Structure 1
Amino acid sequence: MRRSGRYGSVRWFAVVSSATAPVLLIGGWILAAALQPAGFDSLRGTISALAGHNATDRWVMTVALLGVGVCHCVTALGLRPIATPARVMLAAGGIATVLVAAFPLPRSGSSGAHQLAATVAFGCLALWPALSRVSGSAPQPVPPALMRAATGVLVTLVVLFCVALAAGVLVGLAERVAAGAQSLWPLTTVLALHPRTRAALGLTRAAG
């Protein structure tokens, strides 16, 4: 894979990890929800509830969350064309996702550790694209306006999830839309850095 920008090319394993993350997350919540007793509503029930101590076969969503977190860390390691602060924040979001699984919801009440981990995960995974600009005069690996727009969309989805959570309306749907979009953006970024994609968009010379 040819070099792109002063940080080099995106590594092959980032392609694998970024593609695996949304498969694990979305496939995990679909399978975990299917294993719950009749009456579980994915439009209202959260992803965390599927990994909580009250869930049936909670290991399914737990393993999925752990895998997603590891995938984000691996993707951050392989996104070499992206500025270091963005990669660090993506990795932080991955670590926080692992902690979401490590501190599940209890059988009753809430968990401060779980809420903190989920807040950090949502925040980091929404904000990292905005930090992707490479400093100095080096050509930008991806258009900064695109990455800022991505952060705007991801932050908006997180805010809508918070509103749904406060109102108690369609919490599960809002969370899945926000979390699903966050899991897909690393893959979108990796594909945008692929030489064939860049050539199709006319960015090959700028990245050279």
Structure 2
Amino acid sequence: MAVAAAAPAMLVTGWTVAGARQPPDYDPVRDTISELAGEGATDPWLMGGVLVLLGVAYVATAAVLHAAGLASRFLLALGGTATVGLLAFPRPEVGGSPAHGVVATVAVLALSLWPAGSALRLPRAVRREVAASPTGTPPWAFRRPVALTVTAVLLVLFGWFVMEVTGGSRTGLAERVAALAVALWPLAAVLSARRAATTSAPAPVPPGRPGAGG
């Protein structure tokens, strides 16, 4: 849970600290996060390091989030890997980079679609736990209406960012809102799975009662 909680905190801290290091003409509402790690940035290693840690956090969360389906965990890990991969294709100081755009798109789409994977099919072990639970429902983050709604919202935010890129003046704001929403959902999913596991755990048998050891 600590890793999932660290992701949004690192992201906000990273773009705040790195943004403060840029020249006065840098505008976080207009300019993107990628520019903070790009070739023309002041101290690009700051945001670059955050992107590496963020990607690793996504991969680590995917590795331990067994309540999610295999497809969801694969997409989350893919999104984390693509996030790290952005460093191999930094945004140039002038003009754009098709390679950077492709890797960024893969990262955003994978991180937007991963909630829907669990909505379509839960792992067998989780289905057994759900069947044996008092409520008979999966953890709230993996319930189909919730997961599909989250994916829809993330895709809408991504669409807003694309619209700003093609002719808006709030590209940086749109990217930050979408990135923060993407970073918060793994934490929500981990908290949901942990709460469900705690709720479904059998209560300890007091000593002297039937079933107690000794």
Q: TM-score normalised by the shorter chain: which range applies?
A: 0.7 to 0.9
Aligned residue in 2 for 1:186: 186
The two structures have a TM-score, normalised by structure 1, of 0.85
Q: 1:102: Cα distance to partner?
A: 2.4
1:71 is aligned, of 50, 53, 57, to: 57
Partner of 1:130: 116
Query: What displacement does 1:195 show?
Result: 2.8
Does the aligned pair in 2 maintain the 1:24–1:68 contact within 8 Å?
yes
Partner of 2:89: 103
- How much has 1:39 moved relative to structure 2? 1.9
Structure 1 residue ranges without an equivalent (≥5):
1-14
User: For 1:38, what is the secondary structure of its paired residue?
Assistant: coil
Deviation at 1:107, TM superposition (A): 2.3
Taking only aligned residues, the RMSD between alpha carbons, in angstroms, comes to: 1.7
1:107-160 per-position Cα deviation (integer Å, ceiling 9, x unaligned): 222212211110000100000000013166543343121111110111110011
Alignment correspondent of 1:17? 3
Q: CA deviation at 1:168?
A: 2.7
Alpha-carbon displacement from aligned partner over 1:89-119 (angstroms, at most 9, x marks no partner): 0000000100112211122222122111100
> TM-score by structure 2 length?
0.82
Identity %: 42
* Structure 1 runs of 4+ with >2 Å offset: 135-142, 195-199
Q: Which amino acid aligns with 1:183?
A: A
| Residues in 1 aligned to 2:6 and 2:123: alpha-carbon distance in whole angstroms | 30
SS in 1 for 2:66: coil
Contact 2:67–2:123 under 8 Å retained in 1? no
SS in structure 2 at match of 1:164: helix
CA distance in 1, matches of 2:97, 2:59: 24
Q: Which has the higher contact order (CA 8 A, sep 6+)?
A: 1
Which residue identity is paired with 1:171? T
Structure 2: segments with no counterpart, 5+ residues:
131-137, 202-214
How big is the shift at 1:62? 0.3
Distance 2:182 2:77 in 1: 13
Query: For residue 167 of structure 1, what is the aligned residue in structure 2?
Result: 167
